[in-house]
Amino acid sequence: MKYISKIKKAAWVVLLFFITFSCDEFRDNTPDTEEVSLSPAGSWRIIKATRNGSEITSSMDFSRFRLILNHDGTYSIDNYLPFVVSETSGQWKLNDPYYPFLLYFYQPGEIEKETVANMSYQIYGDRRRIVLSFSPGCQSNTYSYTFEKGTN
């Protein structure tokens, strides 16, 4: 009986030894990821437009309209059409650089007053798109422009 008791004690010691020394420090093997800023800086062209939910892309010539959002926080508009702002240049900023859902526009002389467009990002294949929804003045008219990054 003493012999079995010694074997059990030895087994417990060996087991305790393996448990103690076989455990490694916790290693987090997930790669370090960094949040990517979703800056909309660039030149954007309209590929789809709706007014009050009705498609109007073929009703007007949107092909020449360009929204240029510069990295320095300024914007310019080429070939103006109904848009969230009436001035063809000014400043812009996002409500959040990593999870933006609002795009603020500031017109010259109205830097304290922001004009807001709802924004969503979409990715189709390797192309990035943004959708801006807004009411330019009359609240009963709501426009939604789908932009794709393009060239001037």
DSSP secondary structure, 73-100, as one string: SEEEEES--S-S-SSSEEEEEES-SSS-
Beta bridge partners of 143: 51, 134
Structure tokens of 13?
């010691």
Task: Give the 3-state secondary structure of residue 7.
Answer: helix
Phi/psi of residue 131, nearest 5 degrees: -115, 125
Per-10-residue mean pLDDT of the chain, 152 residues long, equals 70 67 62 68 94 93 94 94 90 91 90 87 85 85 91 54
| pTM, 2 dp | 0.72
The label of the residue with tokens 């859902």 reads: 101
- Pure H helices in 2-127: 2-22
pLDDT at position 21 is 65
pLDDT of residue 10: 72
Count CB atoms within 10 A of the CB of residue 101.
11
Q: What backbone phi and psi angles, to 5 degrees, belong to 56? A: -125, 10
Q: Are 77 and 66 spatial neighbours (Cβ–Cβ below 8 Å)?
A: yes
pLDDT at position 15 is 64
Q: What is the pLDDT of residue 109?
A: 81
CA 62, 65, 71, 73 torsion-angle sign: negative
